[in-house]
Amino acid sequence: MCGIAGYSLSSRSGVDRTLAAQALLAGIAERGADAVGYAYRGRGDAYPVVTKQRTPASLLLERIRVPSHATELLVHVRDYTKGHPSIPANNHPVRHGPVVGIHNGIILNDDELLAEYSCARAEPRMTVDSEAIFALAAHTGNDPQAFEALAGSMATAWLDQREPGVVFAARGVGRPLWLGRGREEIFFASTRDALEIVSDYAGVRLRKSEVRDGTFLALHNGHVTSTTRFRPDRDYVEETPLPTVRAPGESAHCLARLAAIAAAA
C-alpha cells in the first residue's frame, strides 16, 4: 500500500511550492517507508527533476526543495510489492522513456506488457511492475483506452516531457485517489486527510471529491482540462487486503516537523 500525491498549479497561484510538497508528503507518510521520492517540473524545464531515496518520508521532508516556478509535482511513499527498493530504478518516481510517474497498487501482467518494448527495464535489475503503466502512456501518447490492458489495481499520476504543463492521473480499481480543487490549483492524494493537511498549510480552500474507478484525468494550469472514462480491471480481487497504515509513527513525526517548518517560515 503506497501513497501518491501531487499538484498542478497556475503560474498565478501564490502557493509556496516547497511547503505544499512537504504538506502532501506528511499527509501520505504513513502509507509506506521502503522508499520516498518526488518530481517537479515548471515552465522552461526540459525534463522533470527527480529526487528519491531509500528511507521513510521523515528523512526527506526537510530536504525537499521545489522552486517557485514549478507548476507540476509528484510525491510518493513506497511500500513495495515487486521490485526490491535496494535497486534505485524500482523506486518512485519511475521513468520509462519520456514519462516519469508514481503508482499505488500492483500490476499483474507487467512482464507481458513490457515484453513489447525494447527500451523497457532499461536499468540493470529493474523489475518494478509500475513501469508497465508508464510504458503504455509513453508508447500510446497517453491514450486512456490503453490502460484497459492493465490487470491489477492502480491509482497513478505521471509527467510526460512531450506534454509540458500537463499532469496526468488515473484511477483503476482497488486504490483510492482524491482531488482537491482551488481557484488556481488542483491537488491530488491517496487520502482526503492529505488534502486537508495541504489546504491548511498552503492556505487554500479546496473542494474535495473522490475520483471514480476507471477515470483518466489531464490537469493543466491548476484545473482539470480533460476527463475520460476507461474500463478498469474489474476482475481483480486482492487476496489479502493491505492495511492503509504501513509506517506507524511516520505521520505524527512528519506532521510535527511540518508544523515546526511552517512556524520558522
Q: What does the pLDDT look like over 92-111, one tens digit per residue?
A: 999 999 999 999 999 999 99
Position of cell 507548476? 71
Q: Which residues of 93-109 are buried (b: 16+ CB within 10 A; e: fewer)?
A: bbbbbbbbbbbbbbbee
Q: What's residue 69's pLDDT? A: 96
Q: What's residue 213's pLDDT? A: 98
* Helix residue ranges per DSSP H, 141-245: 192-202
Q: What's residue 244's pLDDT? A: 87
Burial of residue 197 (CB within 10 Å: 0-12, 13-18, 19+) is: buried
Domains of the chain are 3-264 (3.60.20.10)
Low-confidence ranges of the chain (pLDDT < 50): none
How would you write 59-121 as a 3-class SS string?
Answer: HCHHHCCCCCCEEEEEEEEECCCCCCCCCHHHCCCEEECCEEEEEEEEECCHHHHHCCCCCCC
208-262 pLDDT, tens digit per residue, is: 999 999 999 999 999 999 999 999 999 998 888 778 899 999 999 999 999 999 9
